[in-house]
Amino acid sequence: MGRLEGKVAMVTAAARGMGRGIAVTLAREGADVVVSDIAGLEVLAPVKKEIEALGRSCEAVQTDVTDRAAVEDLVAVTAKKFGCLDIAVANAGITVQESVLDAKWENVLKTLEVTQFGAFHTCQFAARQMVRQIDSGRKGGKIVLTGSVHTELAVPNSAAYNMGKAAVVQLGRTLAVELAPYHINVNVVNPGWVDTPGSREYAGDEVVDAGGERIPWGRLGDPCDIGKAVAYLASDDADYVTGTTLLVDGGFRLGLK
């Protein structure tokens, strides 16, 4: 029996990469999962199929996290389908590699709309649902935000993303204080360099493969490494953990070889 048996989870940006790894790991731990992404339902179909193959129920919902009404609908669909929402993972984020001197404002704004404001929308509507459930007798809930090692390192050409993810960490801390009276845990996972389709599209296979050898742990992170961290924070094992930021980076922050 998994640690999340009987729980209902919702994960944004779950079509691939870390979001998919998180969603599948939560399902392995026993949760039924609603997966959402801005991509079409056909792009979400593989992760939905993978979750259902684990014997868990899964609903796929196309959602643009920059659209507040769409995020509110996502939470409503989750509650209607499964009767509750126990775990919400605000995972969506994008970046455009530009220096501050050369950055186009539309790229900065889009990065913040997805990475920072999208996290706010997801957390706000999920928290409101969890508080409503408490009034009907259901126990608290767990909110986990995906931050980044970029919140601790001044990575060049990523100012908007760095800024947005730093805001995500502070949002998590603030929400943890506000929701503590309801026993709703709020925490942040800060991944390091993770082997995702997005990383390979941006840097190329050669750079990604070589990068793993430079990390102290000897490899890049796997999306399921992040999923396992989220699963811990979403479980009763982390009942007394709130307002924290968990770094999951294989020693990346300590310095590359």
Handedness of CA 69, 36, 187, 194 (dihedral sign): negative
Local structure of 207: helix, strand or coil: helix
Residue 237 and residue 241: Cα distance in Å, rounded? Answer: 9
Which one of the listed residues 161, 182, 232, 240 is annotated catalytic? 161
Residue with tokens 């396992």: 228
Give me the numbers of helices (H) and strands (E) for the chain, helices first please.
9, 7
- Alpha-carbon 98 to chain mean position: 24
Q: Known catalytic residue: 232?
A: no
- What single string gives the DSSP state of each residue in 164-203? HHHHHHHHHHHHHHHHGGGTEEEEEEEE-SB--HHHHHHH
- The kind and range of the H/E element at 88 are strand 87-90
Note whether 197 and 16 are within 8 A (CB): yes
Q: Write out the two tokens for 109.
A: 């704004």
- Angle 242-233-87 from CA coordinates, rounded to 5°: 95
CB atoms within 10 A of CB 241: 16
Q: Which residues are catalytic?
A: 161
